[in-house]
Structure 1
Amino acid sequence: MRKAQAITLVAATITTGLMAGLFAAFAYAVMPGLSRDADRSYVETMQNINDAILNPVFMLCFVGAFGLIALGAVLAWRGHDRATLPWLILALVLYAATFVVTSAVDVPLNDQLARAGDPSHIHDLAAVRDTFHTPWVISNGVRALLNLAAFGALSWALVVFGRVTAGSAAGSAAASAAGPAVPQPRVPAFTPAPQPGPGWSGQPQGEHPWGSRG
């Protein structure tokens, strides 16, 4: 159980970190760079990005991270220690919020941009761009922060898990070094001899100390 929990926690942290990096890169590099392009270049590039990003690697990270966090929470709840459970639940809630924002805002905007058609046939490229750009940038910034917070919660869960594992290992090592308890032999209780009273000669009563007289 502990090994499965460790593998799941590491995998969830990696996939969540990849998604946080992707959204953050759009927030501080991709969109600021595209904002300098002409309307036609901007619309065409975003259409191509939205089409290319729907690939198995993206879906594996985007959907897989949620499943891995949920599995990690279940394993922590069923395991011997639940120290990581609060952080996993926090990460799950934050990532679920990222999922909701993406599905409710970014995906519809991407679909709307795709339905606009070939940029060469769009009459008002500026209007299409303005309708898409501002809400998409704001939504992406929100989901980047949410995903980054989920990544932070998972990273701390790894730290907590490592501390608990190290503590359990140290306790097991100490118990092994001490070895099994050796039973101590029972010593019979010592009963002191009765103390002689006054006039006791050390001989049984009725017997003369020098024997019988003839």
Structure 2
Amino acid sequence: MTTLDLTPDELLTTTRTVRKRLDLERPVPQELIRECIEIALQAPSGSNRQTWHWLVITDQEKRAAIGEYYGRSVAAYLKSSGAAGRLYADDPERAPVQQRVGTSVEYLGERMREVPVLVIPCLQVRSLGAVNQAGTWGSILPSAWSYCLAARARGLGTAWTTLHLTYEQEISELLGLPEDIRQSVLIPTAYYTGDTFKPAARQPVDEVLHLDGW
């Protein structure tokens, strides 16, 4: 196992969603993906149930089909009033950043089918029902993020995407998922080009930190 020379804080603050810089030509070894998933399985889950399953899609036709569904969702998203490029139209400081995000989302939407590895962490769920779902998804999302961190440490780029869920049923049928298996995020995984990853601009902590109450 060879990892980048990153401190824990550097790993946590420079693991970014990679869209335009994913290397669509370079194959990714399955052994590397397995390492990342093995690390991801160390993440916490509710009641330590570990009812997770991981789909790794490398088949060209299946990647193309998932990419087609994802592309449709991206196109609809970018046309909607809540598209990333318009969310902060009244905020001059954030608008340029969000417009760039919208451009990169469109780019990945057109090329998802070309990404060499698509990873979908799933959770076995009897019924979502009407209860608060935080406890349910809290049993898979930490593991999914651990996968992204492990990938970054090994020189792989990932993107945190969920727009494929518009077509969750269709993708479940495509991949032969049982009825009680629900998809969480779709994580395109590939080597990346360049190495200039840095912390992103975020709100000052004092604007979001609340002590002992709101």
TM-score, normalising length: structure 2: 0.25
Structure number with greater CO (CA < 8 Å, separation at least 6) is 2
Greater helix proportion: 1
TM-score, normalising length: structure 1: 0.25
Which protein has the larger Cα radius of gyration, Structure 1 or Structure 2? 1
